[in-house]
Amino acid sequence: MLKLGRGEFGDDQLLIMAIVNRTPDSFYDKGATFDFGDALRRVHEVVREGADIVDIGGVKAAPGAAVGVGEEIDRTVPLVAAVRAEFPDLVISVDTWRHEVGEAAHDAGADVFNDAWGGWDPRLAEVAGRRGAALICTHAGGVEPRTRPHRVTYDDVMADVLSRTTGEAERAVSVGVDRRSVLIDPGHDFGKNTRHSLEVTRRLGEMVDTGWPVLVSLSNKDFVGETLDRPVGERLIGTLAATSVSAWLGARVFRVHNVAETRQTLDMVAAIRGTRPPARNVRGLA
């Protein structure tokens, strides 16, 4: 059983976490949901399309203009509060590495802290433990937030992923986070080159075998673009291929931009696996 705030999910459920960024410089949508009204409309859209979780972010992952704690709170917390008011049962995540943002977002109704930078601020896990929030522990190779990898090397990239993510997960439990509320994420592109991201994808079963539920954030990332030589706007097919493989290998949560397409992909994988019946079954029976 996976417990994400007010939401509890069975082991066979494949969950979609929809990305809604209140940033003016997102790599994918170039600020399409920076405006508060546009962001709230996008939340309504992704919920209609089948999102189980909404992940609200206020700072883009890539290098760029500095965003202080106060500004990040101003971008994310009012949206968290508005979403909670309109969707009382929806699981809300906040994409942050800062404990101050976690505190404020939880006050506004957030259930999950999505720490994409590998515990850079160790107090975020402590806030999660004290507040009863869920926590996502991501591998970023120890790099500083909002920095790109430069000639990064690993003796064994998956060994490093396992060591760091499970270490952060165990620490989270030690500071009070419910073991059922901790996920691990291999961190595609974060602290990795394309070959590293491909390797952690094909070895994802090793993460699943740890017993911690696995989240993957594959959507339109550079490793997909470089593998297929496609710009950001043409990476959906590659993303869905990586999503299918990750789901088959046991990933539980999928952080995405394209919700409707991902929902169909995951439903098809679940049907092939035998955990979801076909929507209809008339062929050869009439």
Task: Render the burial of 48-69: b for 16+ CB within 10 Å, e for the rest.
Answer: eebbbbbbbbbbbbeeeeebee
Using an 8 Å Cβ cutoff, are 256 and 49 in contact?
Answer: no
- What percentage of the chain reaches a pLDDT higher than 90? 94
- What percentage of the chain reaches a pLDDT higher than 70? 100
Class of domain 2-273: alpha beta
The model carries a pTM of 0.97
Query: What's at 93, amino acid-wise?
Result: S
pLDDT band at 6 (very low <50, low <70, confident <90, very high): confident
Lowest mean pLDDT among 61-65, 78-82, 217-221, 242-246: 61-65
CA 251 to chain CA mean position, Å? 11
CA angle 58, 62, 65 (to 5 degrees): 65
pLDDT exceeds 90 at position 26? no
pLDDT band at 176 (very low <50, low <70, confident <90, very high): very high
List, for residues 232-266, the tens digit of each pLDDT value: 999 999 999 999 999 999 999 999 999 999 999 99
List, for residues 77-118, the tens digit of each pLDDT value: 999 999 999 999 999 999 999 999 999 999 999 999 999 999
pLDDT on residue 27? 81
